[in-house]
Amino acid sequence: MMPSTMTAVQLCCCLCLVMVTTTFGRLHPRNLTDNRLIRRNLLGNGLGGTPQMGWSSWNHFACNIHESMIRETADAMVSTGLSSLGYEYINIDDCWAEQNRDSQGNMVAKGSTFPSGIKALADYVHGKGLKLGLYSDAGTQTCSKTMPGSLGHEYQDANTFASWGVDYLKYDNCNNENRSPRERYPTMSKALQNSGRAIFYSICEWGGDNPATWASPVGNSWRTTGDISDDWGSMTSRADMNDQWASYAGPGGWNDPDMLEVGNGGMSFGEYRSHFSIWALAKAPLIIGCDLRSMDQSAHDILSNSEVIAVNQDKLGVQGRKIKEYGDNLQVWAGPLSGNRKAVVLWNRGSSKADITAQWSDIGLDSSTVVDARDLWAHSTKGSVKGQISASVEPHDCSMFVLTPKK
């Protein structure tokens, strides 16, 4: 697509790449030309201007899902105030359909757990001001092997999903007959675009074929990692794997290191705060994975931090990244925001409390710049900060700041 025909979102993406290059100097040179070409060929469904926000059933419930729970989750998304902060998708993962298609070859909602059908559920979710997501697989069966995949049925299934009022498709990669994802995923992309409904397309290829390098014109987000689990090692490894692809993300198409585990109980408050902060800085999808109906106050406090969410949803759309490391455990992550601001996370991945410092030269600020430093977790501002930002950080925790240059 030539520049004269680029949409505003596409133009913004190309500008974002230039800003990343000039501001941090860390964009991989070998990828720059390819990245610009990729961003000019975004999936043209008008979705994904900022990373998606919502909830998914898999992390907490796996296959133990039913329509009453989905309705109650939609209710909870509203009653907890999370919907007013931008969380909008209620996504049903694997195990929602019958094992076999009907006589016309259509997918059918599982009668024992979704007796009202998906359309009625979509209507209920829409009535709450939310959107409904559904799951399928670019293979012959889904990963649970309890329902059919969409391989060979892409157009039929896309039309079915559209007729039900589905707003989001997570498309997995199991039982794929060893066929290339570059062959399978574009077919569903075209089917969704021809369905007559704007459906967010979340590619769940697990990062095996480096989808960041080819998925921008195909989907609105793409998994860069294998599945996350609710523990410190899994979370940190996914953050690191996702980081290498930072230059490929931007409005319309996002790197996805998998869903949030905040509130599921396997990590400490500080570890969950780090999880949420890094996902927000990295412009990762903020897809909640706990039981919204019974989450505790600490989980709610993390997930509802509007200042951290604002970093994730910043219109500039540049993925922050790891820019400095002291030893093996003390890290500075940072990225540019709109209005010439910087977002900074000082992350202590070690086992003892430590002081961490980000110098202005690390994060693309001139040495003479004076900033107001907003602490996003303490909700306090320190004025007229010069030269560096520092914090004493507890083990497995972080501090997060937005730095606004003073005029």
Q: Which helix (H) or strand (E) holds 272?
A: helix 269-281
DSSP string, 302-371: HHT-HHHHHHHT-TT-PPPEEEEEETTTEEEEEEEEGGGEEEEEEEE-SSS-EEEEEEGGGTT--TT-EE
Question: What pLDDT is recorded for position 85?
Answer: 98
- Count other C-beta atoms under 10 Å from residue 356's C-beta: 22
75, 123, 209, 227: which is the annotated catalytic residue?
Answer: 227
All residues at 6 or more sequence positions from 365 whose CB lies less than 8 Å from its CB, including other chains:
342, 371, 403, 405
Q: Domain-by-domain residue ranges, the chain?
A: 51-311, 319-403
Question: What pLDDT is recorded for position 37?
Answer: 46
Q: Are strands 330-337 and 341-348 parallel, antiparallel or unpaired?
A: antiparallel
> Has 172 been annotated as catalytic?
yes
Query: In angstroms, rounded to a whole number, what is the distance separating the alpha carbons of residues 214 and 246?
Result: 14
> Has 227 been annotated as catalytic?
yes
93, 137, 172, 397: which is the annotated catalytic residue?
Answer: 172
Fold of 51-311: TIM Barrel (3.20.20)
Question: What pLDDT is recorded for position 5?
Answer: 36
Query: In angstroms, rounded to a whole number, what is the distance separating the alpha carbons of residues 384 and 170?
Result: 45
Q: Residue for token digits 């195909």?
A: 218
- What's this model's pTM, rounded to 2 decimal places? 0.91
| Main-chain phi, psi angles of 84, to 5 degrees | -70, -15
Q: Residue for token digits 């996002």?
A: 254
* pLDDT one digit per residue (tens) for the chain, 407 residues: 333 334 444 444 444 444 443 344 333 333 433 444 445 468 989 999 999 999 999 999 999 999 999 999 999 999 999 999 999 999 999 999 999 999 999 999 999 999 999 999 999 999 999 999 999 999 999 999 999 999 999 999 999 999 999 999 999 999 999 999 999 999 999 999 999 999 999 999 999 999 999 999 999 999 999 999 999 999 999 999 999 999 999 999 999 999 999 999 999 999 999 999 999 999 999 999 999 999 999 999 999 999 999 999 999 999 999 999 999 899 999 999 999 999 999 999 999 999 999 999 999 999 999 999 999 999 999 999 999 999 999 999 999 999 999 98
Query: In angstroms, rounded to a whole number, what is the distance separating the alpha carbons of residues 55 and 77?
Result: 9
Sign of CA dihedral 138, 7, 48, 324: positive
Name the nearest CA neighbour of 100 among 91, 92, 116, 111. Answer: 111
User: What CATH architecture is 319-403?
Assistant: Sandwich (2.60)
Question: What pLDDT is recorded for position 41?
Answer: 65
Residue pair 273/232 in contact (Cβ under 8 Å)? The answer is: no
Residue pair 212/250 in contact (Cβ under 8 Å)? The answer is: no
